[in-house]
Amino acid sequence: MRALPPGGRAGRGLWLPTSVAAVALLSGCGSTKTVTKATTVTRTVTVVAGEQADLAPPGRRVEFGHVRSLIRKGNRYVMRFDPAFLLSGVTAATAAAEDGVVRPGEPVPNDNYVVDESPRAYTYYVADDVKVTLLVRTSPEKWGPTPVSLAEFAKVIHGSSPLDLFEPLETGVWITIDVDTVRSVYQQYKP
């Protein structure tokens, strides 16, 4: 007796007694009918603007870091941005201890610590209608978040703006990015 290879077919004149036994066994059980029905389910999903869709990366995100340059190229501005981590609480204290800035278990000053793992900057377009908010001194004792134009922000970056910033931009900014385009810039206050 020869066995069939998996998925193979019997050739002419091949006698397989196991097949006869199987037929005899099944014939005593009555008839069996297998029916397979395919069901289609239609589902309507509403995605609210700004929410993440299933399995899609977020289109809009917020990152902390430092603006390295802001240059007008053609009809748009291009920003080079170096992302960093602005950490707080136990995360900040642990990272600072690992970096040797504080002893293990000690808190960090002002409960925050910036980690900038790399000087690498990334390129983003800047929307013409970007919202830029800087911390501007309005008098010797007063300062506050102040909206400025994109052109004025470029002057601040290049050091040619008359604005008196409460803190230098080296304290960092938060940018909102929509895929590859910066939609807002907000200067971080650092006590």
First to last CA, the chain: 89
**190 pLDDT tier (thresholds 50, 70, 90):** confident
Write out the E strands in the chain. Answer: 60-73, 76-88, 112-115, 122-139, 142-148, 173-178, 181-187
The answer on pLDDT for 123 being more than 80 is: yes
User: Cα–Cα distance between 83 and 23 in angstroms, integer?
Assistant: 71
Please check whether residue 188 is in contact with residue 173, taking contact to mean a CB–CB distance below 8 angstroms.
yes
Stated pTM of the model: 0.69
C-alpha 79/C-alpha 171 separation (Å) is: 17
Q: Is pLDDT of 52 > 70?
A: no
Q: Which residues contact 14 (CB under 8 A, 6 or more apart)?
A: 2
Residue 49 clears pLDDT 90, i.e. is over it: no
